[in-house]
Amino acid sequence: MEAKEAPARENQEPRTEDAKPELPDAPRTLPLQARRITMPERFRIYRHSVFNSDLLFAPAFGAALAQASNEPPEWGQGASGYGTRLASGYGRLVINRTIRFGVAALDHEDPRFRYSNEAGFWRRFRYASVHYVVAHTDTGKRIPAFSRFAGTYGAAFIANEWYPESRANTAHAFMRGSTALAAGWGWNVFREFWPDIKKAIRREKVED
């Protein structure tokens, strides 16, 4: 879909997980052009994906939820239990993104986040949902997001190495991976609408 004439925001910086997503009918960014991404560029994107704000926020939030449900129970409560859960979440996140980096380099997936530039809530919601599981290659083709699935489930199964015995099995690893995949989908949808939310917040402050 062609972007409507409107003041264009500056081009997106290549990034994977933390792009901070204007009103529902306004174009948000210039469309990313398909192009061959060099290995140094891929490494820069990877480095950015493991050294940004959500690198700390996501594991911290996940650890808080696990602490509240006492999962796994062997890790206990208190500062020690939370610290163990936080370290586990951090480790899974880094492993996830490292696997994604390798797989995307092999199958030429473009790891940059893409805004929809669509109009209307449902069209944007659908775009964010579909493009969570479908990836663009650096030649413009669309393929399943193999790197996302490999990274998410790979990290979940590797985590069996440090999870207590009661949770170090195929069923729990698959559950961890599926939960992480669902949480990632929610975050991807949120990023699509983040510019609208941010703009509304700023407008409220100006009006106040």
pTM: 0.76
Q: Pick the residue with more confidence: 17 or 103? A: 103
Per-residue pLDDT tens for 150-203? 999 999 999 999 999 999 999 999 999 999 999 999 989 998 998 888 888 887
Residue 18 has pLDDT above 50, yes or no: no
Is residue 5 one of the residues assigned to a domain? no
- Element (H or E) spanning 135, and its range? strand 134-136
Is residue 104 one of the residues assigned to a domain? yes
The rounded distance, in Å, linking the Cα atoms of 149 and 184 is 11
- Mean pLDDT of the region 118-141: 90
Is residue 22 one of the residues assigned to a domain? no
Question: Residue 4 class from Cβ within 10 Å (0-12 exposed, 13-18 middle, 19+ buried)?
Answer: exposed
Is residue 25 one of the residues assigned to a domain? no
Nearest to 66 by CA among 162, 58, 174: 58
**pLDDT confidence bin for 118, thresholds 50/70/90:** confident
Domain that holds residue 142: 39-207
Is residue 141 one of the residues assigned to a domain? yes
Is residue 34 one of the residues assigned to a domain? no
Number of domains, the chain: 1
Per-residue pLDDT tens for 31-64? 556 677 888 998 898 888 888 766 778 899 999 9
Is residue 24 one of the residues assigned to a domain? no
Nearest to 20 by CA among 136, 156, 163, 188: 188
Per-residue pLDDT tens for 78-108? 999 999 999 999 999 999 999 999 999 999 9
Half-sphere exposure of 84 (CA within 13 A, CB side): 17
